[in-house]
Amino acid sequence: MASDDAEREATGDGIGEAPVVGADGASEQVERDRAAWQLGKAHRKVDAMERMRGVTRYTDDLKLPGMLHAKILRSPHAHARIKSIDSSAALAMPGVFAVVTGQDFKIPYGIIPWTPDENALAVDKVCHVGDGLAAVAAVDEDTANAALRAIKVEYDVLKPYFDPEEALKVRDREGTINPYSRKGNVSKHVLLEFGDIEAELKRADLVIEGEYFFEGTTHGAIEPHCALAHVDGGGVLTVWSATQVSHYLHRELAKVLELPPHKIRVIQPPLGGAFGGKSEPFDLEFVVAKLAMKTGRPVKLLYTREEVFYAHRGRHPMKMKHRTGFTKDGGLLGVDARTILDGGAYSSFGLVTTYYSGQLMCSPYIFPAYRFDSTRAYTNKPACGPKRGHGSVQPRFAMEIQLDKAAAALGLDPIELRRRNAIKAGEKTVNEFTVGSSGFLECLEKVERSSGWVEKRRSLPYGRGIGIAGSTYISGTNYPIYPNEMPQAAVQICLDRSGRARVFSGANDIGQGSNTMLAVIVSEELGIPLEDIRVLSADTDLCPVDLGAYSSRITLMVGNACLEAAQRLRRKVCESVAKRWGVPRQRVTLAGRMAIDREDPARHVDSAQAFQWAEADHGLLGETGSYNTPKDRHGEYRGGTIGASPAYSFTAHVAEVEVDAETGLVEVKTIWIAHDCGKALSRKIVEGQIEGSTYMGFGEALMERHAVDPAHRGVHVGPSFLDYRMPTFLDTPDLEAMIVEAPDANGPYGAKEAGEGPLHSSIPAIANAIYDAVGIRLDRLPFTPQSVLAALRQREEQERAGQLAPHKRADLQPRRSA
Amino acid sequence: MLRLPQFEVVAPESVADVVSALQRPGARIIAGGTDILPNLKHHLGTPQHPAELPPVLVSLSRVTALRGIALDEAAGVLRIGAGVTLSQLSEHPEVQRHLPSLSQSAGLVASPPIRNMGTIGGNVNLDTRCRYVNQTHFWREALGGGCLKSEGNVCHVVPGGRNCVAAMSSDNVPVLISLDATIVQAGPEGVRELPIEEYYKADGLAHTNAKPGEVTTELRVPLPKGPRRSTYVKWSVRKSIDFPLVSVALRFDLGEDEATVATVKVVVGVLGSKPRTLGKLDDVVGKKFGDPVLARMVADAAYAQCKPLENVPYEAAYRRDMIRVYTRRAIEALAAADK
């Protein structure tokens, strides 16, 4: 029996298969191996085979009998009042079933309960090119599109505002972009001060002042947003949606559609990427739901790629002014940051983004004084929101270049400067957050060693350079988006007589592998391989509530809930086996699809038998687990809970670049990344997240630009994957991902996040490497060849004027010629 | 996803049947479809084929006569069927041996999947492109109602301009011009062959001299008669997928000494609607190919004679500077390979 299993295991290709503990293994060996039976191994994702074979059914693959197709009419104006909408001609067209407008959705919503400032379709005014104002359901997409063209809209065109600072100056009603705003175009303002920043800057030996601009970027998930709605005979509305927050969608649907929550079911089918771009409700979900209610037919809507760019909710453009004080030894004394966030037309997560732009800067370095003053402006652009590394990627760019400038000014190795200021485990940040574990120093050490930093700093010629940056990120937020005292995460697990487990989890697997993570935990605890575990996720009818895939919360929070449920079941199973064998429970362990006697490993039964004994003793085997966050880790001030997390991850990046001084092209050769994820539950997935995050940052550094063209009525500069350039495989540098494990007491097996942190410092590491290569500071993103050339010319002039010495050794300088 | 308009497809098997099918109203040729299908999704027509007219797509997929590459030693040309895919062209041993710059340019178009579909006939007939044109109908409406090349009557690149300056963005056309290729057109009035250089004109709306109802059947490229150095240089933001932002084809025919330049032809693409063949290169003839002055002379001529426009992304001034840099470097690389 055992050998059959062993054979079955051995036929795998090494992925997803852990060694089976043989019957002849010594008990100590069993115990030693048990801890590593699944944890930290390389696993094939539980959905990998379906995806690779192309049989995964995404939302758009779903088809129901009698299904209608919906399309949304969008505004060609950046800012206009809607005078009238006449949809009678559209409704009269054959094949058109229903039309909805803003009048059908008068209840505003917003992902943050304090800022409900958008309607599913515009009610009185449109606020950016691409804002939706009406929708039709028709027999097919072509008929729906034709019907849109038949809808007559009269607009009063208003003056648009594309510059956030200009928008902030507006005080009158006419110039107030968002219809619900009561403070002109101020979407959110946060001013927080810790310690005496002016005093610290005064006593500083060196104050670095810098101005930075982070350009808007978007997520670029391959799968466009899609939703399908259906009302069944009992009046229950089911919405299938490509969302990463099914629970919040559930709540907002209930609110806007005025339906009781128990009459709504939300299902998230497999996703083709999200990266934060699907973490709130969008117009299409309300539209299909309402149209399904109106027509009695299933209704589906798939965004065009262009619509995805208008839905956006990507990285906020930020203008940042930093003053940073240092002692002559490189000790960090204080940071004074002023930030303008360009929010676009709606709040989205903007309240949180505004806080994050300051709150997440107080680690991985410790310093005694801090002030940040962040203002988010409404502008006539697609709304910004959370993109991988929400709110903190932009200020991290400023912060890490400031540190590099200080190191250069003080003649210090920039890694050494960071080391001297590194926050230690258990310390409190200046904004009163308690940091648990920290592997930051080890991250620095790993990238320093593997990149050959010390040698390269000395020897790389002009044109070639190396740069460092560090960062930190949260493993979930301590407080949910809507205040409540219920668990932040819950998981239910059932075992059955065939030796399998079913895991019910509300968490959204968005490709990051959270379903696999749950399977690994259940496998580790219950001794059955991943293939015997079914994870059913993100269906509000079947699964316990989970808050969703955002703020890198799932591994820590849902992982903990899952671990609790799995350990409860493990105890029951071990107990029943122990009873049969007449030994204490502690002598029984579960691994390799068996229950094994630790002291006499020849004695074992397969998992199915063990589960049957336990079911006989306890009745049906089902357990739940819940997780709630520790409530003692935040700051005691208004906003002090925002940015507080049960555990923080740490990252260090070293980038090596080559700068072509004649073309201005930057080629990033290699990026070394060390990331402290606490404990890698599934090694390949963590490495994939590290590489993917770093790649994403690299693309933002060199190419990506999500912006509108103020000279052309505010149209998007290129809402397609041809014009919005994300790097191809050929453009991507070598990525050397290294895992650092500083286990955190709050994480399952010590695990912390890995999905967002490793993006942050890739961008400033590249900027700092460019400085090392050719002596120019690029304080604006992206680093286009034109901006590189302009900075080089400026430096040349300064050198000619004798204001600057030539960068690097003169004999290494190539002679420029054009 | 964007929808295609409803269209009819016909798939004739001979060139003659293609020519007669092209007489139908709305008839447009489809070969690999990599240019026309996105244009149809974007509701883009041409003066001959208004976007409102339901398209009749005349597919070349069954015209096997268009698919070959043949070395015609007697005539001293390589004949390339218009239906040859860009992958086949790039990888063909005779092309690689005799016409390396053409192998290079074909291999640099877009991405491997697109090169597997796209044909050389389609590529030389690639419609001109512009940042204000190749967008959705909705986007152009938001822009204020399109432009000369779409629904409108203004130019966003040259304000006040009455002539469309959309960019000829084919990687292969500058190379084919540099190699003195000819293009064979079959139409209702029969078959004609003309120098490919004369096929293009400076009008972004109708940038070729194709006559109504004509189909490109073949490209004929003269084989080198003596030692030759040729190359194609492309710069785009990404190393794959993108259309060129700098595009230069170079050809130097050398004397028997394999060193003295006898003939030089340099063609630059992605300016306006017509590639530019550099003039005033007489001083280069007679120079030694390895002479560093030569690279600089040609690069300076390219800079002086080429004025990119804001019709594609990236500032025109930068692209102009880069034409000089990339031209010089391309010649230096060719010379270095000789050593």
pLDDT (tens digit, 9 = 90+) per residue, A400-422? 999 999 999 999 999 999 999 99
Q: Which residue of B has its CA nearest to A145?
A: B3
d(CA B229, CA B251): 6
Q: Between B138, B321, B326, which is nearest A74 by CB?
A: B138
* B56-59 vs B27-30, strand pairing mode: parallel
Residues of chain A with CATH 3.90.1170.50: 59-158+221-274+278-311
Enumerate the residues of chain A whose CB falls inside 8 A of the CB of residue B237: 703, 725
B314 and A722: CB-CB below 8 Å? no
Strand B182-187: give its sheet, edge to edge: B69-72, B77-81, B215-222, B182-187, B190-195
Is B20 domain-assigned?
yes
Angle at which helix A554-581 crosses helix A514-526, to 10 degrees, equals 20
d(CA A448, CA A243): 39
CA end-to-end span of chain A, whole Å?
76
Burial of A66 (C-beta count, 10 Å sphere; 0-12/13-18/19+): exposed
A486 touches chain B (CB under 8 A): no
Enumerate the residues of chain B whose CB falls inside 8 A of the CB of residue A722: 134, 241-242
Give every CB contact of residue B27 below 8 A, 6+ residues apart in sequence.
B21, B49, B55, B56, B57, B58
Q: Do B181 and B324 share a domain, yes or no?
A: no
B313 and A718: CB-CB below 8 Å? yes
B238 and A129: CB-CB below 8 Å? no
Q: Do B171 and B83 share a domain, yes or no?
A: yes
A728 and B238: CB-CB below 8 Å? yes
| Confidence at residue A35, expressed as pLDDT on a 0 to 100 scale | 57
Residues of chain A with CATH 3.30.365.10: 2-36+487-627, 318-478+636-811
B310 touches chain A (CB under 8 A): no
The one-letter amino acid at A665 = L
Is B329 domain-assigned?
yes
Domains: count for chain B: 3
Number of other CB atoms surrounding residue A159 within 10 Å: 10
3-state percent helix, strand, coil for chain B, nearest multiple of 5: 30, 20, 45
* CATH number of B75's domain: 3.30.465.10
| Confidence at residue B48, expressed as pLDDT on a 0 to 100 scale | 85
Minimum distance, in Å, between the CA of residue A395 and any CA atom of chain B: 27
Residue to mutate among A722, A729, A731, with most B CBs inside 10 A, is A722
Which of residues 45 through 74 in chain B touch A, CB cutoff 8 A? none
| Confidence at residue B81, expressed as pLDDT on a 0 to 100 scale | 98
**Tell me: the pLDDT tens digits for B36-85?**
999 999 999 988 888 888 999 999 999 999 999 999 999 999 999 999 99
A157 touches chain B (CB under 8 A): no
Which of residues 5 through 34 in chain B touch A, CB cutoff 8 A? 6
Q: Among residues of chain A, what percentage have pLDDT more than 90?
A: 93
Helix, strand or coil for residue A502? strand
* B276-277 vs A125-126, strand pairing mode: unpaired
Q: Are B261 and B251 in contact (CB under 8 A)?
A: no
The one-letter amino acid at A126 = V
**A·B CB contacts under 8 A:** 80
B293 touches chain A (CB under 8 A): no
d(CA B322, CA A788): 14
Tell which of B222, B257, B285 closes a domain. B222
Task: Look at the block and give the residue holding tokens 């103020």.
Answer: A710
Closest of A660, A775, A716, A790 to residue B235, by C-alpha: A660
Residue to mutate among B44, B150, B237, B242, with most A CBs inside 10 A, is B237
Task: Look at the block and give the residue holding tokens 């340019």.
Answer: B105
Helix, strand or coil for residue A504? strand
Q: Are A647 and A556 in contact (CB under 8 A)?
A: yes
Q: Do B35 and B178 share a domain, yes or no?
A: no
The ranges of chain A with pLDDT < 70 are: 1-36, 809-818
Closest of A343, A357, A386, A387 to residue A181, by C-alpha: A343
Q: Among residues of chain B, what percentage have pLDDT more than 70?
A: 100
Give every CB contact of residue A459 below 8 A, 6+ residues apart in sequence.
none
B241 and A718: CB-CB below 8 Å? no
d(CA A792, CA A778): 10
d(CA A289, CA B166): 43
Q: Which residue of A has its CA nearest to B326?
A: A663
Residue to mutate among A720, A789, A815, with most B CBs inside 10 A, is A720
Enumerate the residues of chain A whose CB falls inside 8 A of the CB of residue B150: none
User: A98 forms bridges with which residues in the sheet?
Assistant: A137
* DSSP H helical ranges for chain B: 15-21, 36-41, 86-91, 93-98, 100-107, 112-117, 120-124, 137-143, 172-178, 292-305, 316-338
Q: Do B120 and B40 share a domain, yes or no?
A: no
d(CA A80, CA A93): 28
Angle at which helix A283-295 crosses helix A246-257, to 10 degrees, equals 50
Q: What is the torsional sign of CA A560, A565, A566, A572?
A: positive
2.40.50.140, 3.30.365.10, 1.20.200.10, 3.30.70.1230: CATH of A2-36+487-627:
3.30.365.10
Task: Look at the block and give the residue holding tokens 């989205």.
Answer: A348
d(CA B147, CA B166): 11
Q: Do B13 and B113 share a domain, yes or no?
A: no
Which DSSP string corresponds to A647-682?
-EEEEEEEEEEEE-TTT--EEEEEEEEEEE-SS-SB
d(CA A348, CA A251): 15
The one-letter amino acid at B136 = T
Q: Do B287 and B187 share a domain, yes or no?
A: no
Is B138 domain-assigned?
no
d(CA A309, CA A282): 13
Give every CB contact of residue A262 below 8 A, 6+ residues apart in sequence.
none
Q: Which residue of B has its CA nearest to A310?
A: B139
A720 and B135: CB-CB below 8 Å? yes
Q: Between B1, B6, B239, which is nearest A728 by CB?
A: B239
> Which strand (E) or helix (H) includes residue A288?
helix A283-295
* A533-537 vs A734-740, strand pairing mode: unpaired
Tell which of B44, B62, B80 closes a domain. B62
B144 and A713: CB-CB below 8 Å? yes
The one-letter amino acid at A77 = H
A527 touches chain B (CB under 8 A): no
Phi/psi at A117 (5° precision): -130, 25
Q: Do B72 and B209 share a domain, yes or no?
A: yes
Enumerate the residues of chain B whose CB falls inside 8 A of the CB of residue A789: 318, 321
B4 touches chain A (CB under 8 A): no
B145 touches chain A (CB under 8 A): no
Q: Are A683 and A739 in contact (CB under 8 A)?
A: yes
A818 and B321: CB-CB below 8 Å? yes
B97 touches chain A (CB under 8 A): no
Asked: is A318-478+636-811 a CATH 3.90.1720.10 domain? The reply is: no
d(CA A7, CA A80): 69
Q: Do B93 and B205 share a domain, yes or no?
A: yes
A141 and B3: CB-CB below 8 Å? yes
Q: What is the torsional sign of CA A599, A603, A607, A609?
A: negative
Enumerate the residues of chain A whose CB falls inside 8 A of the CB of residue B143: 712-713, 715
Tell me the ipTM for this assembly: 0.96
Distances (CA, A) of A55 to A47, A51, A60, A272, A366: 10, 6, 13, 13, 50
Minimum distance, in Å, between the CA of residue A297 and any CA atom of chain B: 22
Distances (CA, A) of A136 to A87, A122, A292, A300, B285: 9, 15, 11, 11, 67
| Confidence at residue A817, expressed as pLDDT on a 0 to 100 scale | 44
Burial of A83 (C-beta count, 10 Å sphere; 0-12/13-18/19+): exposed
Q: Which residue of B has its CA nearest to A788?
A: B318
Q: Do B171 and B277 share a domain, yes or no?
A: no
Burial of B229 (C-beta count, 10 Å sphere; 0-12/13-18/19+): buried
* CATH number of B15's domain: 3.30.43.10
| Secondary structure string (H, E, C) spanning A308-377 | HHHHCCCECCEEEEEEEEECCCCCEEEEEEEEEEECCCCCCCHHHHHHHHHHCCCCCECCCEEEEEEEEE
Q: Are A435 and A401 in contact (CB under 8 A)?
A: no
Q: Do B33 and B70 share a domain, yes or no?
A: no
Closest of A500, A517, A499 to residue A508, by C-alpha: A517
**Tell me: the pLDDT tens digits for B245-268?**
999 999 999 999 999 999 999 999
* A786-811 burial code (b ≥16 CB/10 A, e <16): ebbbebbeebbeeeeeeeeeebbeee
Containing structural domain, residue B36: 8-62
User: A59-158+221-274+278-311 falls under which CATH superfamily?
Assistant: Aldehyde oxidase/xanthine dehydrogenase, a/b hammerhead (3.90.1170.50)
CA end-to-end span of chain B, whole Å?
53
Number of other CB atoms surrounding residue A526 within 10 Å: 28
Is B149 domain-assigned?
no
* B8-10 vs B27-30, strand pairing mode: unpaired
Q: Which residue of A has its CA nearest to B111?
A: A728
Average pLDDT of chain B is: 97
Is B2 domain-assigned?
no
Enumerate the residues of chain A whose CB falls inside 8 A of the CB of residue B2: 304-306
| Confidence at residue A403, expressed as pLDDT on a 0 to 100 scale | 98
Q: Are B109 and B115 in contact (CB under 8 A)?
A: yes
Distances (CA, A) of A558 to A505, A611, A626, A818, B167: 8, 24, 8, 59, 54
A667 touches chain B (CB under 8 A): no
| Confidence at residue A241, expressed as pLDDT on a 0 to 100 scale | 98
Minimum distance, in Å, between the CA of residue A197 and any CA atom of chain B: 42
Enumerate the residues of chain B whose CB falls inside 8 A of the CB of residue A710: none
Q: Do B234 and B271 share a domain, yes or no?
A: yes
**Tell me: the pLDDT tens digits for B166-187?**
999 999 999 999 999 999 999 9
Average pLDDT of chain A is: 94
| Confidence at residue A811, expressed as pLDDT on a 0 to 100 scale | 47
| Confidence at residue A27, expressed as pLDDT on a 0 to 100 scale | 43
Q: Between A304, A714, A785, which is nearest B2 by CB?
A: A304
* DSSP H helical ranges for A204-268: 246-257
Q: Do B110 and B258 share a domain, yes or no?
A: no
A528 touches chain B (CB under 8 A): no
d(CA B157, CA B150): 14
| Confidence at residue A632, expressed as pLDDT on a 0 to 100 scale | 87
Task: Check whether the bond before B275 is cis (ω within 30° of 0).
Answer: no
Give every CB contact of residue A202 below 8 A, 6+ residues apart in sequence.
none
Enumerate the residues of chain A whose CB falls inside 8 A of the CB of residue B235: 663
Q: Between B235, B239, B325, which is nearest A818 by CB?
A: B325
Q: Which residue of B has its CA nearest to A710?
A: B143
Each of the 339 residues of chain B gets a pLDDT tens digit; together they read 899 999 999 999 999 999 999 999 999 999 999 999 999 999 999 888 888 889 999 999 999 999 999 999 999 999 999 999 999 999 999 999 999 999 999 999 999 999 999 999 999 999 999 999 999 999 999 999 999 999 999 999 999 999 999 999 999 999 999 999 999 999 999 999 999 999 999 999 999 999 999 999 999 999 999 999 999 999 999 999 999 999 999 999 999 999 999 999 999 999 999 999 999 999 999 999 999 999 999 999 999 999 999 999 889 999 999 999 999 999 999 999 988
Give every CB contact of residue A263 below 8 A, 6+ residues apart in sequence.
A235, A236, A237
